[in-house]
Amino acid sequence: MRNLVPSATKVSTLEPVYNEQISDSASSNGVQESIVAAAFDVDRGLIFAASEDARFGVRIWRTSVNPCEWNAPILCGSFSSIDPKVLSLRVIGESAQLILVTRSGDTVTWQLDELGELISGPDIVGSVDSGILAVEWSPDDTLVVMITGDENLILMTSTFDVLSEAPLHTEEFGEDAPINVGWGAKETQFHGSIGRAHLKPSPQSSTQIQEDPRDDSLPRVSWRGDGAYFVVSSLARQTPQSDKGRVLRVYSNEARLQSTAEMIAGLEPSLSWRPSGNLIASTQKEIRAGPSDTQRTGKHGVVFFERNGLPHGGFNLRGDDRDSGIKHLAWSSDSNVLAVHIERAHGDVVQLWTTGNYHWYLKQEISAPLSTHFTSVNWHPEVSMRLLLTSPLQIIQQDYAWETCAGANDTGCVGVIDGQKILLTPFRTQNIPPPMSSHQLLVNTPTDAASGSLFLSQVPPHISLSQSHDLLAAVWQEGHVMIWALQIQITPGGGAAMNPILIWSANLPRELRHCRQVLVSSENDGKYRTISAATLGSDVDGNDRIVIHDFERVVLPLGSISVTRSRTISLKQKNGRLVPHEIPGHLAWQALDGSIFQVHREEESCSQICSFTEHCPSSQRVDAQLFVGLSAGGKIYTAIPNAESALLASNVNSFTIASGFVIFTTTSHDVQFAPLESVVAILTSGQGNGVLSLAGDENKVGELASQAWQKRRVERGSRIVTAVPSTMSLVLQMPRGNLETINPRPMVMEVVKSDLDAGLWRKAFMACRKHRIDFSIIVEHNQEVFMASISAFVDQIEDMDYINLFLTSVGRSQLPAGVVANVCDSVRQDLEDRDLTKYVNSILTAYVVKSPPDHEAGLALLLRLRGINPSLVEEAVKYIIFLVDADRLFDTALGMYDFSLVLMVAQHAQKDPREYLPFLRELRALPHLSPQYFQEALDYLDMYQLHEEALAIWQGTDKYTDVLGIYGAWLFDRHEYHQAATVFVEASDARRAMISYERALQWQELFELGLKEQLDGDAITEIAYRVADELFSKKRFCESARVLLDYARDVRQAIHSLAQGNEFAEARRIITLHAKPELIDQLLLPCAFDCRSQIGDDINEMREQLRKQVARLTELRIKKVEEPDAFYNLDDPTLHNVDVMTDVSMAPTTFTRYTVAPSATSSKASKRSSKTKRKMERKLGSGRKGTVDEEEYILKSVTKLVERCATTQGEIKKLLPHLLQLSRAHREEGVALQVEFDCLQSELRAAIEDIWQKSDEPTPVDSWATRMQEKAKEQLVEPLQRVPKPEMSTSEWSLKLLQQKLTG
């Protein structure tokens, strides 16, 4: 549902300028020279044209393809000829030649330089004596087909070497002749009820194929887009067996005849093969025949053929074309647009046709300037929407773009141009697939005010729908504008979907030429409405000119309106575009370089406010600040004043603005929603030149868009038609033309949120229900407002099933449990206050969906309901069993000790009576709880570990301590000594509490409790020795010494514990405090030597480990460089079991690892069990020698060695002062120890720097094998990147006195 609209126009006129006052006949007599052919030079961006003149022969002209350059063509060459009739003009890029072919048979070439200048004179490379009737180059310019005057077909190369020459006319069908498969003759086949009578020829119906008098009898040639085939249309010779008429023959690119089409009456010379290859287009004029003159209509039509020559449909041209003829057909390079050149007596037109959903639309009708004739029609070979036309004195270049004419979002109206009809569909109320529509607006052809005759162009080149009200505007190429009020019916009911009325039409000033765009906008001003229509055209020099008509104080309902003010704004640039907008004050114009100018109506001027990075044919102004545009290359930009434009995505094919989003579809087949707020925030925060700018990585742009914005997958090739926020729908069109309407989640959420803000709870609820949105959004959107409006919510919802659905959804949502409980309780309370019996199911739902569910309260409600309305209890029980597992309800009912309720649940849950009835009888037979059953209860709870439940039951009773005793013993057996001790203390069981404290080595609490229990001294001492021994074994030396001093009074053992723990400072303090100097010689001196010896052994062990690991690491790194395949285990597993290679085998390369099929051995090796995989994972970091992870293991080991060195450093720091002070022998040991450790640190520090230094690997030779190896290894992360470099401790640990002793 897109329209083909003109986006740029370029006109180059031969000098002297043609006088507009000269009539057609006078001009034909006075002006001899006429442009007859033109060609694109793709490499140099030029257009070459050839003109015919009886005096000068053939002259060559040159002009630029730049739409902004309207200069006159430059004469660059000529060729004198007696009969200057040009057949073909072509630029061959490979050989840099301009080639001209004339009707007289001459082939002329000119050599081109880099700037397009003719650097040589005309060179006649060949001549055909009989003349040339037709010539056509292949799409790749490698072959050329010529048909000579003696009707021979010649195929040549681009250097004019003849490949084939054969007669054009032949009786053969071709290589693809149909084969008779033996189904019998047509007369012998079954023909149904009609019989075989219709097979007999009727003398009344037999007509001969008559020759068209307008046929020039010249052949035509057209190539397929890939250059594999070409087709020739020629006038067949009349024979006794066949009539004289046009026939199509298909040839291969070797000039071998493939097929011949059936001869069709009225077939005309026009011919064009669609570049995609599926259709061959020609034209047919239906000839009137028959006695009643009703068999033919006399109209022109386009007919299609397949490559095998069979007809394949077609379409009729519009309008009264009985006195006209079809001169030429041309397909655009992308096969989407068919140009039809129609010759008329009062002036030629070129019609542009497109197809969609098996219907052909007439999109454009281009009239020849000054009622003259077009001499050639060509499409650009690479720019698909660029059309080149030539008239006798002008070279006209027209650029087109696709545009969707969508109106106000509240109606979703879309307009499609189809000839003189505008197809209108309001998608809010009707979803009608094209080519059908809700309304067909027939546009009456406007008349020229000066001449009083109809305009040549009967199709408006552009239409526009207002974005705020239902207004439609159309503009014609010659300068006529019409505005309609559509009067779309939105409310449901009978009648037409719309009733358009024409409210204004006018002819624009004659100074405004090439009108190509119109925009209509409106805004309400109290009880009046202001309407504005802006028309874009150009002046005689090609500069853009905007004509604005304002209609102020328009009274509703709309009728005929009058212009209150008219302005004309002239611009100094060419081929810009008006930016669609909503209100008249937002009119803006976009230049061809992407600059955006604000149009100032009062001053009749423009000023630049922002710009896109490149020109965007499709753009829209969202508000006073934000602009969104889509470039021809599929990049969507946003821009605001005083900021750089930002690139949102680079693979976009359509977009629209609705519901606060920039909605766009991508070539990745998804639709994305960019919030306008975030887009404006990015632009205003100065991040326009960051990751979202064009200067950034475009891959990053797509990644950011996919991560940050919501998106949804759509069908391949989908494009946006329109968005209707009120119905939460997005209309998409598929490539074939059919429509699909979806309801995207972001659009639905915007409507739901607005309804929630407005308090429309039922409307929001029904939208969530229809579109399967979690009802928790009703609570999450504004929890405080919802909790305060629960009564209104219930009033609007009302239906009990809907309330149950809402509560169930909230209960299963991700909301916090507290929020769910508050919502359920509030709704339940409101329902209970209204009517308990009416909303009993909803109340039960509120109980059971809470987290945790309150099943007991729900069953209690059933008991209460049984007393109020017993008839509802049965249905309520069935409902709650439907919600909750029956076994859980049965257990809950048992806990409530109401056997009637238990029986009712069991019966409706369809439980087997043989299971629950004996159990209930057994429960009824149980005696009431009494003290003699307490021990049995203790055994039961201990057996099933129901300690916490038992504590809750017997708390506050005299049996509580017994339960605590059972619980403490259970914890003690589980070795949870700390917890057991706490429980025993609570139970006042000091003996077992002390045992638990002793097992937990909590000696402070142990001795506190022992002293409180007034144990004697011997018991305390015995406990102290036991605890001290346990602490000593756990290397808690300080605590062991404290226990021995405080509770055993054993100074000697305390000093021994401290000395063993390298706590010499504390040991010397205690010796001095207790006046035991003899313990220095007896304990401290030997223990100091022992401690120093132990540390020395640790230093030696660390040094030896470091040296071994550094050596092994060096060996591994050398192997990694010299033998990378062996190091990474990249050898081919498929060759492990191969003993001898055959003579046809080849050595495996890096590439064979990706191409060779895996062997059975490797397949079996890959099928490991889960147990084996877990074992392999455990071995992954073991560092076994020869494995690929050995290097990483060594690095981690060195890191642990640094940590161990830091721990040893702390021990040395505590020991050195005492070695200095105890004796001379100890001092010497201290010096030696300090030297040893300092050497170890230096060696370790040097090793770390060497190990964690990134080696400068030599640059590998850039070869295919090297790149494949790097590709295979890129997944292997270097161990240095996985293991961080350890940091050596820099704290001060040595003694300066010992350093002086060392230097001394």
Give the model confidence (pLDDT) of 851-884 as tens digits. Answer: 888 988 988 888 888 878 888 888 888 888 888 8
Reference 132, options 245, 223, 218, 37; nearest CA is 218
Six-digit token pair at 368? 């020849």
pLDDT in tens, 948-970: 888 888 888 888 888 888 988 99
Q: Which two tokens stand for residue 153?
A: 């077909």
Report pLDDT for 21: 39
Higher-confidence residue: 1088 or 823?
Answer: 823
Instruction: Please state the rounded mean pLDDT for residues 149-173.
Output: 92
- pLDDT confidence of residue 913: 78
Average pLDDT over residues 753-780: 94
Does the structure show a pLDDT above 90 at 361? yes
**Model confidence at 161, in pLDDT bands (50, 70, 90)?**
very high
Asked if pLDDT for residue 1271 goes beyond 90, the answer is no
Contacts of 36 by beta carbon, 8 Å cutoff, 6+ apart: 50, 51, 52, 86, 375, 376, 390
Region 519-531 average pLDDT: 89
Res. 805 pLDDT band, cuts 50 70 90: very high
User: 207-221, 790-804, 904-918: which has the highest mean pLDDT?
Assistant: 790-804
Confidence of residue 31 (pLDDT cuts 50, 70, 90): very low
**3-state SS, residue 577:** strand
In which order are the strands placed within the sheet that holds 152-157?
Answer: 132-137, 143-148, 152-157, 162-167
Other beta carbons within 10 angstroms of residue 578's beta carbon come to: 23
Q: Is the pLDDT of residue 1279 over 90?
A: no
pLDDT in tens, 480-522: 999 999 999 888 777 888 999 999 999 888 888 889 999 999 9
Q: What is the CA radius of gyration of the chain?
A: 48
pLDDT at residue 684 tops 70 = yes
Per-chain mean pLDDT for the chain:
83
- CA proximity to 18, closest of 303, 394, 462: 394
Q: What is the pLDDT of residue 1145?
A: 40
Name the residue with higher pLDDT: 215 or 349. 349
Which comes out higher in pLDDT, residue 1179 or 1114? 1114
More confident residue, 763 or 1146: 763
The three-class DSSP label of residue 1126 is helix
What is the pLDDT at residue 320?
65
In this prediction, what percent of the chain has a pLDDT beyond 90? 42
Residue 1189 — pLDDT band, cuts 50, 70, 90? Answer: confident
| Separation in Å, CA 1046 to CA 335, 1021, 1026 | 102, 10, 14
**pTM given for the model:** 0.72
Residues 6+ apart with CB under 8 A from 1117: 1191, 1255
- Residues 94-101 have a mean pLDDT of 93
The DSSP-derived string for 908-924 is HTT--HHHHHHHHHHHH
Residue 1141 pLDDT: 41
pLDDT above 70: percentage of residues in the chain = 83
Position 613 scores a pLDDT of 92
For the record, the structure tokens of 660 come out as 């606060």
pLDDT attached to residue 17: 41
Structure confidence by residue, pLDDT tens digits, 986-1001: 888 889 989 988 888 8
| Lowest mean pLDDT segment, chosen from 466-470, 599-603, 613-617, 1251-1255 | 1251-1255
What confidence category does residue 198 fall into, taking pLDDT thresholds of 50, 70 and 90?
A: low
| pLDDT tens-digit map of 1248-1268 | 888 887 655 444 445 544 555
Task: Give Cα separations from 211 to 248, 326, 446, 1206, 1278 (angstroms).
Answer: 15, 15, 37, 108, 83
Please give the residue that has the higher pLDDT: either 1059 or 1286: 1059
Element (H, E) at 127: strand 123-127
What phi, psi does 204 have (nearest 5°)?
-75, -30
Q: Give me the pLDDT at residue 927, please.
A: 63
CA-CA distance, 281 to 267, in Å (whole number)? 11
Band (576; pLDDT cuts 50, 70, 90) = very high
Query: Coil, strand or helix: which one is 530?
Result: strand
pLDDT value, residue 905: 83
**817-834 and 800-811 are packed helices; what angle lies between their axes, rounded to 10 degrees?**
160
Q: Give the Cα separation of 730 and 718 in Å (integer).
A: 11
pLDDT band, very low/low/confident/very high, at 715 (cuts 50, 70, 90): very high
Instruction: With cut-offs at 50, 70 and 90, classify the pLDDT of residue 1275.
Output: very low
Phi then psi for residue 926, to 5 deg, are -65, 140
- The answer to whether residues 915 and 907 touch, using CB atoms and an 8 Å cutoff, is no
Structure confidence at residue 788 (pLDDT): 94
H-helix or E-strand spanning residue 222: strand 220-223
CA proximity to 696, closest of 755, 658, 648, 657: 648
Instruction: Give 283-327 pLDDT, tens digit per residue.
Output: 998 765 444 443 445 678 999 999 998 999 899 998 766 678 899
Render the burial of 389-411: b for 16+ CB within 10 Å, e for the rest. bbbbbbbbbbbbbbbbbbbbbbb
Could you tell me if 1110 and 1247 are in contact, meaning their C-beta atoms sit under 8 angstroms apart?
yes
Per-residue pLDDT band for 16 (boundaries 50, 70, 90) equals low
pLDDT at 533 over 90: yes
Q: What is the pLDDT of residues 1219-1237, one digit of tens each?
A: 888 888 888 888 888 888 8
Crossing angle (nearest 10°) for helices 855-868 and 840-848: 160
Question: Nearest CA to 659 among 720, 707, 730, 762?
Answer: 730
pLDDT score, position 271: 94
pLDDT tens for residues 1098-1153?
A: 899 989 988 988 888 888 888 878 777 666 655 544 444 444 444 334 444 433 43
Of the two residues 1081 and 544, the one the predictor is more confident about is 544
Q: What pLDDT, on a 0 to 100 scale, did the predictor assign at position 1252?
A: 82
